[in-house]
Structure 1
Amino acid sequence: MKKTYNLFSLFKRTKFMFSFLLFMLFGFGLQSQTLYTIKGSVIDNLGTPATGVTVQLKNTNQGAITDFDGNYELNVSLEPGNYTLVFRLLGLTTQEVNLTLANQTEIVKDVEMTMDILGLDQVVITGAGALTSKRQLGNTISSIKGGEISESGSVDITGALSGKLAGIQVSQNSGDPAGGISVRLRSSSTVNGSSDPLYIIDGVIVNNNSTDVLGTTSVVQNRMSDISPQDIDRVEVIKGAAAAAIYGSRASNGVVQIFTKKGQSGEPVITLSSSVNFNSLRKKRDYNDEPYDWASSDITVLDKVPVTRYDYQDMVFQNSTGTDNYVSMSGGKGNTNYFGSFSYLKNEGILKSTDYQRQSGRIRVNQVINDWISASFGTYFSTSKSQDQPNGGYVAGILPTILFTNNTIDPRPDENGDYPTMTFYPNILEYIETFDFNQKSNRNISDLQITLTPVEGLKVSYIAGYDNSETTGNTYIPIGTTTIELGSASTSTIRTTQFNSDLNGSYNFDINEFLTSTTTTGFTWQADETNSSSISGTGLALGVKTTNGAASISTNESRSERSFWGGFLQQTFGLDDKLFITGAIRLDGSSVFGEDERNQWYPKASMSYLISKEDFWDNTFGSTLNSFKVRAAWGQAGNLTAIGPFDRLSNYSAVSIDGTSGLVAPSELGNTDLSPERQTELEFGIDMGLFNNRVGVELTYYKQDIEDLLLARTLSPSTGFGSRLENVGTMSNRGFEALITATPIQTNDFSWTVTGTFSTNKNEVNDIEGEQFGIGNFGFSVAKNGEALGVFYQGYYARNEDGSLLLTEGGLPQREKGYYDEDGNPVAERDASGQPTGSNLSKVIGDPNPDFIASLTNEFQYKNFSFRMQFDAVQGGDLLSWDTRMFYQFGGGEQTAKELRGESVRGTGAANFNIAESYIEDGSYIKLRELSTSYLLKNPLEGVDSVKFTITGRNLFSIDNYSGYDPEVNMDGQSNGSRGGVMGLVPIPRVFKFGVVATF
């Protein structure tokens, strides 16, 4: 009997668990306790107040956060006895202070915290509810403060991650107001699946799908665009397969954990912020401004005629504005605290008739039931709407029209309101003034969390997470356009619902004075359901913009369900708080595979050794090398993204035959023996603190081997099928990551912090049947044995022996010809006159994968002034610029202008149009990603705690050799393998943002 998994069966399976937890919550009463007030102040290593320090009674749910003056206060009901007060803040060393609670009900404890440049004392989340210090970890984990996210100037959380971490590549694939963003931790780990990391918000596994509801990949949004960056407290990023041993195979590409702000007991704190931003085109592309055109299409005729040329860029681009407004209130009393917020964002695009609006709200309530039971509930909602334009990539659009047009045509409508035909695509002003493309999204993310600490050292947590997102795209093309003369309309909706249920427990105890033990175990059940539907119509009635007025209507619908389950057991032993050894095993299962292959085991092992804590260290290296940690991690994980819910089956299609239902056999044969792609990773690293912890260095080397790639294998025609999905193919990644942080100057009034990142990765694909296959960019991007994923494979120039171009008798470049040897390598041939002969040849002509990525950030603070400057660099990647190709062939480009001026032989552009190597360009760039300054006023008015004024610039300039607008964009959107293609994409705008933040 076939098993089915859905959200309803999941709730039934967890019914007993909920009942048990409710009994635990309300079945125990409070014991006799005394009300104590614990307060004091916290300063940092410079003697200045430490703001935002978490102060918590160890092994309890009681805590507080220091205010702007570094003061804290806890009002707790506890039994008399000995307790430990723990002080934590990212960047400062954790402090533990012992205190005895007896008859005195008011206790004052002042604390000084020292610098922790490596963050070794930082407490991180390594699983649902599992806490550990960074010093214990053998794999890399990095944290980013929420302030760095909200002050980056990005409207998207993922965009704000750019340049903040080593080994992370963030690319904004379009300059649309909510353009999709790609995030890769290290590199690709699959061919046909996704290499995006797993996103978790407050324990909820959330959907970050890129949903194309408009039929154009260039304006696809990420669903992380639904989240307001101002709600973020911090972000933790875990890379590597070792992390997947805890989170499961859905985390094989790494994990981005997002933690939102929470309330603390005390008087209500209200935060108001408002900003306005100004967006502009950073760079115009060179175009044909010659006041002449050819008198004849014959390239041998050089006669010219005068013409008027138009700058279409000035007609379609605009300077635009936006606003971002936010209000939050947090506080609490006794055992209850709360946080609530609301935000409104509206941002206009630099392409006319585009914009993005988002409204969102968040509520979180934390309740301490008693000294060992606490609960938390949070919910988030957002609605968004974007006005879009079909643009770029594989479809028509405003900028593609410019590419395919000789700019001698005035696009403005005539006296009858008719738009002149510019090319086989609609008129550029017709798009802007008559087309209607829009997207609407609704999102809700909710969670319920219960934490039990019944005995010292034991923590049990349960998280129920829910994420529902619905996106609808509407399109309308009026009657009479060049593309669709009769007009068209469509509506597409994609709804995805996800649920995760996680039960985890950890137990810490001291075996003896030197040896500690931490045991962590857990179980997860996850399910998602996706429903999509669309209706489209052509032949619209006059004045009708919806499909019910169409002469011809087509519909489509699909539904899918998946479920994932898994459990893990992890054991860590710590020796003298300096050597930590961890081993783990995880069982993962997924309904997308056949019953015999659904459940897979994945092991993990890691080691962390703080050599600097040895007795000999201080007397030898301690004066210069203050801390030194070596670490290593090994782990395995499966990739679950390369196969859909029903891809293991032979999926027949429905067809109507003379009014009777029928089925059509698929071209791909099913395979129920498929297993998950398996990734094995080994990494080594060292962490160092030098010169009195003024310099911190993290170095990591990793090697990933991925086997059992899920790829289509060609079948014999006698089978009746064309191909079958099988576990064939391998992939490897080798890379190096470096993060260096230094504080050259640090005084009470002035500080200077420098942070640099550097990452390299070498990717290679092998064991592909048939040597290679196309994966995008009109088939020019390929997966090819012995090469990096997504290299460009196409035609190239014929050259002389000295490397110069071999020209035709007319002085034009030409494509290389010849034959392929037995190994598949191209071999050039020449005829008696020395000209190419034979078949057109192709080879690898470019690689979009960069040689390295890097960033450099300088931060200065003088009293209440702060200044930040961040450069991001991507070096060595190639672009396949279809923009350049079209400007070769059509008259609006600079190439035609050169030919008209006599700087180039007429026909050179047309010849280059047919040689792919001619439009391979260097995609390297160095961008001034962020530039910001702020001034903080403390207690400026009675009742006002602070007012902060900010000025932020984003994407201010780029140093590159690219002839187009921006080398960062990508016409295949968030595609995994097809990268580096550019055709008619909206460039990323330059942004200036002015804001004010007030706290009451």
Structure 2
Amino acid sequence: MNKTNENLSFFKRFRFMSSVFALMMLGFTLQAQTTTYTLKGNVTDNIGEPAPGVSVQIKNTNMGEISDFDGNYLLTANLNAGSYTLVFRSLGLVTKEIQISLGSESEVVNNVVMNLDILGLDEVVITGAGALTVKKQLGNTISSIKGLAITESASVDITGGLSGKLAGIQVTQNSGDPAGGISVRLRSASTVNGSSDPLYIIDGVIVNNNSTDILGTTSVVQNRLSDISPQDIDRIEVIKGAAAAAIYGSRASNGVVQIFTKKGQSGEPVITVSSSVNFNSLRKKRDFNQVPLDWGADGTTVPATRYDYQDMVFQNSTGTDNYVSMSGGKEKTNYFASFSYLQNDGILKSTDYQRQGGRIRINQTINDWASASFGTYFSTSKSNDQPNGGYVAGILPTILFTNNTIDPSADADGNYPNMTFYPNILEYIETFDFTQENNRTISDFQLSLKPTDGLKVNYILGYDNSESIGNSYIPIGTNTIALGSAKTNTISTKQLNSDLNASFDKDLNDNIKSTTTTGFSWQSDKTLLRSISATGLALGVKTTDGAASISTDESRSERTFWGGFLQQTFGFNDKLFVTGAIRLDGSSVFGKDERNQFYPKASMSYLVSEENFWENSFGSSINSFKIRAAWGQAGNLTAIGPFDRLSNYSAISIDGTSGLIAPTRLGNADLKPERQTELEFGIDLGLFDNKLGLELTYYKQDIEDLLLARTLSPSTGFGSRVENIGTMTNKGFEALITATPIQTTDFSWSITGTYSSNKNEVNDIEGEQFGIGNFGFSVAKNGQPLGVFYQGYYARNADGSLLLTDGGLPQREKGSYDANGNPVPERDASGQPTGSSLSKVIGNPNPDFIASLTNEFKYKNFSFRMQFDAVQGVDVLSWDTRMFYRFGGGPATASELSGESVRGTGAAKFGIAESYIEDGSYIKLRELSTSYLLKDPLKGINSVKFSITGRNLFSIDNFSGYDPEVNMDGQSNGARGGIMGLVPIPSVIKFGVVATF
């Protein structure tokens, strides 16, 4: 650069800085001409009750406050004299705007009454990083739930508290361990090999909710959202459908769960203290062999003592949850801080979970067009676990595989008797040591600018750092590892997201309003896995140090995602809204030629009830009527890992020299993301003076380019290659009903009901099908829902009865397959099955529908809530039942010993998978609670609330085991419904008290 250009550059910088300085001085001058006004009043709902938590904001500024517990608001603002608009917003109430005139009087009082918004059409929701949208403008579904509903659910996990609260969301607690993993699906599975979990965002931070098996036992895998205390939650917004991914990117192709934490408000400090104690118990005991007989060597029965091992391994347990928060602020600064401590013992002995966490949030108003926010959260947790269920040894699997005639107690020398090929059940409890430790920090910085009328700019920088450490110790002398073992796995995951979004609102004329939104996002995550394991431990040593054999392993992965979008919305007369968007998404996991993909979106929302003809014809009975439709595409970025597109060679030592071994799977640099196209239609109705709300939605998803392995010719030197070859479809219907049959000052009754159904089908799989879990019994099969059970079935007579052997035993069907692959039974001359053993689809773990019904009653300061969850038309594969057929501890052996069935019946059923397919349908009393609120009980105490809550108190089902809800493949996407040796979900009774000062 020459001297002249350098001088010119310097001059431009100087002129720019001078202009900025001049503008700042002008701003200070204008600010000096303002007057300090106090805006205050009281907000009540339509029945005269105080409305706490209402956002009160001066329109088109950053100035606002939140109404307190009694509905009072107090807002101090430096403003010029003139006319302004106060906007009052609250979840469940119709947004209200009032005009105020500021003049010589410095104090302005306005009391406001807000009506019930049963459809939530006036809710302001977040549809992108900081992008605010009124719900009535949206063509796709979005649902909101208050944090209080999660807190009062008695769930220690945020996602568990969502169960039954919203339509189209299936929440399944896969284990009854104190921090057992939870699966969340919005609508249905959208991939075969990837994840169908939604994207989780906390205060703008894309957070890690991985379910990683760090102990080598799938059934005790935790979700990382278990690190977050539900009591910190202000509200949750759930967006379903690919149309939403046009703003959030393809990582949101399975939907979005947005979690917003509590914030402070100006005024005197408000302190909230809560404490609770919970009592956990085994909901029901299952049937075991109680016949005091056993088979002798000669085939006759002999006397025997039977033991109920359930009493030896299960316990009634307790827990406590304690929380304190403080919020407050003055004028332009407010803060919120909290600390929580949770301790919960499991119903399986030697299991527990502890969690400590703290949160700080500071909001700063810089001036009338700029504000900033900073928040950070930290948590540490530790759990004592037991290996259990599924594909590994464990306490409950030992019970399944043993004859309960053995007393498991240790002898005088501390030696435990052999029960089966697994360790003794008391040996697990008293000598094994399995722990998980987690450390977590989530931080964000946000900047919000309104530099000119109609223009809003938001920036979010989010960081999530989590570390999980799994330690396991198996003592010397057990049946599984005679020399003992110790192992430590450490997984560290760091996630960063940087999002810049801007929106511009412009009234084109009196009838048309334009909203243009654009943004860019960059995200990265890095994962480091280290493992050290040892066998041949020294006596008394629980660590890997000094073991006879030590092995280590390490893997690293890194991904980046980027994307930008442009969205345009036109609103016509505030009743017809049309939106179109385009997004470019990229991911480093795909090849250079395929990693960038375009995804379009279009939606429409029409408030027909705003038309004059509607008001005149139907307005008296149908108060609100909205038609909506949305269409959108998104990619799935989870089906392959960071390096799966490559041919990954493995290192090996050959005669002391390093070498490489060729993989069996050939890389494919031309892989592209799976693409999901979704079409959604719906209507929203408000009936009978808005006492009844109805939300109905139909959707259809078409997923193409599924990433699946294709078998290669042996001449290639490789076994398979991942290609974009499969397809999947989902068709579903959702309904949400809300009603307030009675609403008076003293008494109210509200009802919420949900219903969701989905039909899933997989196609274009090479080779017709392949196994995806449950020991290969769960398959992805063309023309069938993902994860159906495909295995052997009973031979039957023409009338459907079982075709028995000459000895009176059931048997598996035999025959051959036709040209289409359908099984064809065959019979020999004696009428018995002949040919090869046949298999077919014998069960489906995908429910026909899920539903919930919640009733809530309030009488003065008393409240009562009851929630039922239902899952119907679902099959489970009960390995528990299978093992009880063959081993002596189950009811099958009891039936044979007592002469009720032919000896050998259980052994015959053991080899026929259809015999252990069971109906997994259930109706659960998910929540039952009552509370009483004391207002101003003592000087200095604003309120005290006492509550009693029950969770999972009873289940109406036909399942022979403990609980049909659990799953031995944990949070697996495709393998569902397998149950073997899993800890059941406990019944919980919780006593709590909350006080505010």
Question: Do the structures match in fold with TM over 0.5?
Answer: yes
Secondary structure (helix, strand or coil) at the match of 1:534 reads: strand
Secondary structure (helix, strand or coil) at the match of 1:709 reads: strand
Question: Does the alignment pair 1:468 with 2:465?
Answer: yes
Q: What whole-Å deviation, never above 9, does each CA across 1:337-363 have from its counterpart, x for those lacking one?
A: 000000000000000000000000000
Provide the C-alpha distance between the structure 1 equivalents of 2:969 and 2:544, rounded to a whole number of angstroms: 28
Alpha-carbon offset, residue 934 of structure 1: 0.5
Question: Does the alignment pair 1:941 with 2:938?
Answer: yes
Question: Does the alignment pair 1:931 with 2:932?
Answer: no
Q: What whole-Å deviation, never above 9, does each CA across 1:210-244 have from its counterpart, x for those lacking one?
A: 01110010000000000000000000000000000
Question: Does the alignment pair 1:502 with 2:499?
Answer: yes
Secondary structure (helix, strand or coil) at the match of 2:148 reads: helix
Written as runs of structure 1 = structure 2, the 5 A alignment for 1:330-349 is: 330-349=327-346
Secondary structure (helix, strand or coil) at the match of 1:159 reads: helix
Which one of 628, 637, 640 corresponds to residue 643 of structure 1? 640
Question: Does the alignment pair 1:808 with 2:809?
Answer: no
Q: What whole-Å deviation, never above 9, does each CA across 1:48-103 have from its counterpart, x for those lacking one?
A: 21121111111111111112221110011122222110001111100001112222
| Identity over aligned pairs, percent | 80
Secondary structure (helix, strand or coil) at the match of 1:377 reads: strand
Provide the C-alpha distance between the structure 1 equivalents of 2:166 and 2:44, rounded to a whole number of angstroms: 28
Q: What whole-Å deviation, never above 9, does each CA across 1:715-753 have from its counterpart, x for those lacking one?
A: 000000000000001000000000000111111100000
Written as runs of structure 1 = structure 2, the 5 A alignment for 1:205-604 is: 205-296=206-297, 301=299, 303-604=300-601
Provide the C-alpha distance between the structure 2 equivalents of 1:636 and 1:367, rounded to a whole number of angstroms: 38
Question: Aligned residue for 2:4?
Answer: none
Question: Aligned residue for 2:166?
Answer: 165
Provide the C-alpha distance between the structure 2 equivalents of 1:25 and 1:345, rounded to a whole number of angstroms: 54
Alpha-carbon offset, residue 617 of structure 1: 1.1
Alpha-carbon offset, residue 40 of structure 1: 0.5
Provide the C-alpha distance between the structure 2 equivalents of 1:549 and 1:218, rounded to a whole number of angstroms: 31
Alpha-carbon offset, residue 509 of structure 1: 1.5
Over 3 Å counting, the alpha-carbon distance change for 1:25 and 1:287 in structure 2 is farther
Provide the C-alpha distance between the structure 2 equivalents of 1:52 and 1:336, rounded to a whole number of angstroms: 18
Written as runs of structure 1 = structure 2, the 5 A alignment for 1:488-887 is: 488-887=485-884
Q: Which runs of 5+ in 2 are unaligned?
A: 1-12
Over 3 Å counting, the alpha-carbon distance change for 1:27 and 1:305 in structure 2 is farther
Provide the C-alpha distance between the structure 2 equivalents of 1:677 and 1:445, rounded to a whole number of angstroms: 30
Provide the C-alpha distance between the structure 1 equivalents of 2:136 and 2:252, rounded to a whole number of angstroms: 22
Written as runs of structure 1 = structure 2, the 5 A alignment for 1:13-24 is: none
Provide the C-alpha distance between the structure 2 equivalents of 1:147 and 1:615, rounded to a whole number of angstroms: 39
Question: Aligned residue for 2:7?
Answer: none
Secondary structure (helix, strand or coil) at the match of 2:536 reads: strand
Over 3 Å counting, the alpha-carbon distance change for 1:24 and 1:583 in structure 2 is farther
1:25–1:373 Cα contact (<8 Å) kept: no
1:540–1:549 Cα contact (<8 Å) kept: yes
Alpha-carbon offset, residue 26 of structure 1: 11
Which one of 904, 908, 914 corresponds to residue 905 of structure 2? 908
Q: What whole-Å deviation, never above 9, does each CA across 1:776-835 have from its counterpart, x for those lacking one?
A: 000000000000000000000000000000000000000001111111111111111111
Alpha-carbon offset, residue 489 of structure 1: 0.2
Q: What TM-score does the superposition give when structure 1 sets the normalisation length? A: 0.97
Question: Aligned residue for 2:204?
Answer: 203
Provide the C-alpha distance between the structure 2 equivalents of 1:742 and 1:179, rounded to a whole number of angstroms: 34
Provide the C-alpha distance between the structure 2 equivalents of 1:854 and 1:211, rounded to a whole number of angstroms: 30
Alpha-carbon offset, residue 105 of structure 1: 1.1
1:78–1:371 Cα contact (<8 Å) kept: no
Partner amino acid for 1:684?
F
> What CA RMSD, in Å, does the superposition of the two structures yield over aligned residues?
1.3
Provide the C-alpha distance between the structure 2 equivalents of 1:860 and 1:576, rounded to a whole number of angstroms: 39
Provide the C-alpha distance between the structure 2 equivalents of 1:988 and 1:108, rounded to a whole number of angstroms: 53
Question: Aligned residue for 2:187?
Answer: 186
Provide the C-alpha distance between the structure 1 equivalents of 2:721 and 2:865, rounded to a whole number of angstroms: 53
Over 3 Å counting, the alpha-carbon distance change for 1:219 and 1:228 in structure 2 is same
Provide the C-alpha distance between the structure 2 equivalents of 1:644 and 1:69, rounded to a whole number of angstroms: 52
Partner amino acid for 1:523?
F
Question: Aligned residue for 1:97?
Answer: 98
Q: What TM-score does the superposition give when structure 2 sets the normalisation length? A: 0.97
Partner amino acid for 1:664?
I
Question: Aligned residue for 1:3?
Answer: none
Structure 1 segments of 4 or more deviating over 4 A? 23-29
Alpha-carbon offset, residue 191 of structure 1: 0.1
1:629–1:688 Cα contact (<8 Å) kept: yes
Written as runs of structure 1 = structure 2, the 5 A alignment for 1:964-975 is: 964-975=961-972
Secondary structure (helix, strand or coil) at the match of 1:221 reads: coil
Q: What whole-Å deviation, never above 9, does each CA across 1:909-959 have from its counterpart, x for those lacking one?
A: 000000000000001000000001100000000000000001000000000
Partner amino acid for 2:350?
S
Alpha-carbon offset, residue 549 of structure 1: 2.5
Which one of 985, 988, 995 corresponds to residue 985 of structure 2? 988
Provide the C-alpha distance between the structure 2 equivalents of 1:680 and 1:206, rounded to a whole number of angstroms: 25
Provide the C-alpha distance between the structure 2 equivalents of 1:131 and 1:236, rounded to a whole number of angstroms: 12
Matched pairs, number: 977
Provide the C-alpha distance between the structure 2 equivalents of 1:536 and 1:856, rounded to a whole number of angstroms: 49
Provide the C-alpha distance between the structure 1 equivalents of 2:546 and 2:626, rounded to a whole number of angstroms: 69
Secondary structure (helix, strand or coil) at the match of 2:933 reads: strand
Secondary structure (helix, strand or coil) at the match of 1:703 reads: strand
Provide the C-alpha distance between the structure 2 equivalents of 1:69 and 1:259, rounded to a whole number of angstroms: 23
Question: Aligned residue for 2:63?
Answer: 62
Over 3 Å counting, the alpha-carbon distance change for 1:718 and 1:856 in structure 2 is same
Partner amino acid for 1:723?
S
Alpha-carbon offset, residue 24 of structure 1: 11
Partner amino acid for 1:115?
L
Q: What whole-Å deviation, never above 9, does each CA across 1:563-584 have from its counterpart, x for those lacking one?
A: 0000000000000010000000
Partner amino acid for 1:736?
F
Provide the C-alpha distance between the structure 1 equivalents of 2:21 and 2:284, rounded to a whole number of angstroms: 62
Partner amino acid for 2:184?
V
Partner amino acid for 2:571?
G
Higher mean alpha-carbon deviation, 881-890 vs 64-73, is at: 64-73
Written as runs of structure 1 = structure 2, the 5 A alignment for 1:64-79 is: 64-79=65-80
Partner amino acid for 1:384?
S
Alpha-carbon offset, residue 697 of structure 1: 0.1
Partner amino acid for 1:513?
D
Secondary structure (helix, strand or coil) at the match of 2:310 reads: helix
Q: What whole-Å deviation, never above 9, does each CA across 1:119-167 have from its counterpart, x for those lacking one?
A: 0000000000100100000000000001001110000000000000000
